[in-house]
Each structure stands twice: as structure tokens, then as C-alpha cells.
Amino acid sequence: MTFMKKNIPFKRNNPKPLKRNNHKNLNGFDNKVSRQRPKGNPLEVKGKYESLAKDASSAGDRIAAENYMQHAEHFLRVNNALKKSD
């Protein structure tokens, strides 16, 4: 009777298991970068996104322009919520 071992991560001459690469950060970016907040108050950030939307629109990129305008609208809402809570 012959038994075959399948999918066992051992080398024949080395009894230690093979190390598997379990790194979640394979793209080289630091995870802290994705958690950064925009700098400035909400109205300043809104203005930055409106400027980016204008630039994207003049370059002919309607999708990016709409994306930036949605971000600008978000920061307008954030600003309004902050004013309401004061």
C-alpha cells in the first residue's frame, strides 16, 4: 500500500515547515497613508476639491470631475453639520 502526502509544506531534507508570506502590505504603501485626513477646515478642503474638479473638467475627464465635485459636496455637508452643532 502506497500513501502519498499531498499539499504538505515540507521539504524532503528539511523537517521545518516552509514559511509562507502572509504580508498584507504587498504594494509597498504604509497603512497609515490610507488613514490620513485632509488638511484644513472643511471649507478649505471643499475649495481644493472644486479646484481639482475644474482642472479635471478642463482636461476633458468628466468622471474625475464628477468624483471631485462629490467630494466637495461632502465637505460642504461636513461644514454645515459642524456649524449646526456649534
* Residue 6: predicted pLDDT: 62
Domain range list for the chain: 38-85
**CA separation for the pair 36, 58 (Å, rounded):** 28
- pLDDT reported for residue 19: 66
- Is pLDDT above 60 for 85? yes
End-to-end CA distance of the chain: 80
pLDDT 10s digits, 13-60: 666 666 666 656 555 555 555 567 778 899 999 999 999 999 999 999
User: Which residue do the cell numbers 498584507 mark?
Assistant: 24
**Rounded Cα distance, 74 and 47, in Å:** 12
pTM above threshold 0.75: no
Residue 39's pLDDT is what? 84
Q: Which residues contact 66 (CB under 8 A, 6 or more apart)?
A: 53
